[in-house]
Chain A
């Protein structure tokens, strides 16, 4: 059993950057701001490459829907061990309005084209926190889904996936082909070694547009406002437990 794995990688604002709301209050400042691969997507790529090293997968294809700079993100995936890339070019102005549903439709079309057996996505992107693309992709393809994966094992024609859920860990079996979304503790992504960065330069990245795949990227949402979270207020100290309970009742907390 040798799987072809499609992995989605998204170019997002780097996790360490201090986010600033745009003056028009309809988004955040992205110009000149450092961007990197979504951390959960790094974990997804790492898992796919490990599957290839274990000879469970035969090819890892990194896919990114984004502006021209998304190619840098794909090349990072290639430097981590992906075999080739697909860049679905979204004009810079439309990037903000791209929705999980659009990406899911694109991924589903690519799965058909590439005859993929497994899709691995990060559980959510750190910019929109949607946590929807994997689930929607599985739904469109009518494939089983295993989300929030913290461990993936292969058993004859199936995957055994341990999921991180509210109550603890849940282990399920999914038949292949399937969609998996990677959670934080699935693995620790490797560094892109310098020799692999050099090798990545020779790997191919195919370019296409959403329209080429028959996907309409018209927005279904309109952003009304983006605002900073409220500043955290100072707390107060109380003398004893009785006062604490009184205060909590006063402010309607209990």
Chain B
């Protein structure tokens, strides 16, 4: 238990090495969501009892309600509303939101665990859950007024309604600061114009957090965040994207044409939009790391099960060293990515800076997911290439995790930026 607290302290080391020896200290009592209680960060050895119970519920639900239908969800291109509602009833759609707003009141470690178990059953269900939790509810919870929380969080906690997050545009994804969607003040309203691209949950969402430029001269400091209910006049949807993976989740453009929203729908301060987006994505990365872990684990489970049963050269292929090496490599990467994910979540829950760890977790987990998806097909051979086995779906689902919520390249820049600050070298 002390080990993880030591690791967390160590990561805040400054340039001077001598300070490292003074860095061993126990985490502070209390955390963001459970004030006064001791933060059990024994996640290195085992999770706290509540989190284990949560893992069991999520795993049982995923194995019973998601896994058997994931292939159908993928083929038909949607996760049914009843399934999302069932997830809401379990408390999964607003895991780290306080009970006052209809949330479950758990912490981000619980969210990471839940994301992995749900995504192991169905990656599309995982992203629907993640987009609602981190990308939609997240920024409103962090920056919204009391009224905004009541109006735009509470109705989105039980799975009956989902929200979405609109930052990317056809002209800029990684280059988020170049947002060309505009918001002009007009009396007591803002008028939005522009197109947002690649919006997860775009079709079903009943509200969206949107980022638009209110003052082009200020560049990225001139971007503001808004909450826009759906449907609304002046907001139309582009075609549903035909994706390689996570096909059960809807992705489309949001097209704003003189879309009028009341001034009260401004989220946070004007000009603060870019910062809100970046802070939202920091937390969202922990969710996506969880999703990638679930996909990786599902791919691994499929591979090791097959290897134990498939007979070739007079024995199960599990006996072959080359297959064993693949499985060991997959398991190693999954375990490493999981530890990074838990650490990032624990840092966030302790109220400490977690951006670098969140980027590391997302980067590691997503590259692990694509590695495991690839190797899983390789172990299954021809069977891995056909839809009779889930390996091909895991391979397709994994790919997006290296792209959305910050590409792997952006994650590396985030990590490097953090390192440079820590070492005060520039």
A binding-site residues for B, Cβ under 8 Å: 36, 72, 75-76, 79, 191-195, 197-198, 200-201
A194 touching B90, Cβ below 8 Å: yes
8 A Cβ contacts from B96-115 to A:
99, 104-106, 110, 114
The minimal Cβ–Cβ distance linking A70 to chain B, given in whole angstroms, is 13
* Cα–Cα, bound, A128→B136 (Å): 50
B57 touching A198, Cβ below 8 Å: no
B372 CB–A CB distance under 8 Å: no
Report the stretch among B48-56, B72-80, B258-266, B329-337 that lies at the interface. Answer: B48-56
B49 touching A194, Cβ below 8 Å: no
B50 touching A197, Cβ below 8 Å: yes
A195 touching B92, Cβ below 8 Å: no
Apart from the given pairs A76-B53, A198-B99, 5 other A-B contacts in the complex at a CB distance below 8 Å: A72-B49, A79-B53, A192-B53, A193-B57, A194-B90
Taking CB atoms, residues of chain B closer than 8 Å to A79 are: 53
Interface size on B, residues (CB 8 A): 20
- Contact for A201 among B50, B57, B95, CB less than 8 A: B50
8 A Cβ contacts from B77-94 to A:
89-92
B99 touching A194, Cβ below 8 Å: no
Closest to B86 in A: A191
Task: Label chain B's interface by main secondary structure.
Answer: helix
B61 CB–A CB distance under 8 Å: yes
9 closest cross-chain pairs (CB), A and B:
A194-B91, A194-B104, A195-B91, A197-B53, A193-B90, A191-B57, A192-B57, A193-B91, A195-B104
Task: Label chain A's interface by main secondary structure.
Answer: helix
Known contacts A75-B49, A201-B50: A194-B95 contact under CB 8 Å: yes
Known contacts A198-B104, A198-B105, A198-B106: A191-B60 contact under CB 8 Å: yes
B57 touching A197, Cβ below 8 Å: yes
Please list 9 pairs of residues, one from A and one from B, whose beta carbons are closer than 8 Å in the complex, sorted by A's number. Answer: A72-B49, A72-B52, A75-B53, A79-B53, A191-B61, A192-B53, A198-B104, A198-B105, A198-B106
Taking CB atoms, residues of chain A closer than 8 Å to B60 are: 191
A198 touching B61, Cβ below 8 Å: no
Taking CB atoms, residues of chain B closer than 8 Å to A193 are: 57, 89-91
Known contacts A72-B49, A75-B49, A191-B61: A197-B54 contact under CB 8 Å: yes
* Cα–Cα, bound, A192→B49 (Å): 13
* Cα–Cα, bound, A194→B106 (Å): 8
The minimal Cβ–Cβ distance linking A141 to chain B, given in whole angstroms, is 33
* Cα–Cα, bound, A76→B49 (Å): 10
Taking CB atoms, residues of chain A closer than 8 Å to B56 are: 36, 76, 192
The minimal Cβ–Cβ distance linking A59 to chain B, given in whole angstroms, is 22
A198 touching B49, Cβ below 8 Å: no
Closest to B51 in A: A197
The minimal Cβ–Cβ distance linking A243 to chain B, given in whole angstroms, is 31
* Cα–Cα, bound, A45→B366 (Å): 40
- Contact for B50 among A36, A191, A198, CB less than 8 A: A198
Closest to A14 in B: B56
The minimal Cβ–Cβ distance linking B125 to chain A, given in whole angstroms, is 15
The minimal Cβ–Cβ distance linking A69 to chain B, given in whole angstroms, is 10
The minimal Cβ–Cβ distance linking B296 to chain A, given in whole angstroms, is 21
* Cα–Cα, bound, A198→B95 (Å): 11
- Contact for B57 among A36, A72, A75, A194, CB less than 8 A: A194
Taking CB atoms, residues of chain B closer than 8 Å to A197 are: 50, 53-54, 57
The minimal Cβ–Cβ distance linking B283 to chain A, given in whole angstroms, is 18
* Cα–Cα, bound, A72→B47 (Å): 13
A194 touching B61, Cβ below 8 Å: no
- Contact for B90 among A36, A72, A191, A200, CB less than 8 A: A191
The minimal Cβ–Cβ distance linking A8 to chain B, given in whole angstroms, is 20
The minimal Cβ–Cβ distance linking A9 to chain B, given in whole angstroms, is 14
Taking CB atoms, residues of chain B closer than 8 Å to A75 are: 49, 53
* Cα–Cα, bound, A72→B54 (Å): 12
Taking CB atoms, residues of chain A closer than 8 Å to B53 are: 72, 75-76, 79, 192, 197, 200
* Cα–Cα, bound, A200→B49 (Å): 11
Taking CB atoms, residues of chain A closer than 8 Å to B114 are: 194
* Cα–Cα, bound, A197→B47 (Å): 15
Taking CB atoms, residues of chain A closer than 8 Å to B105 are: 195, 198
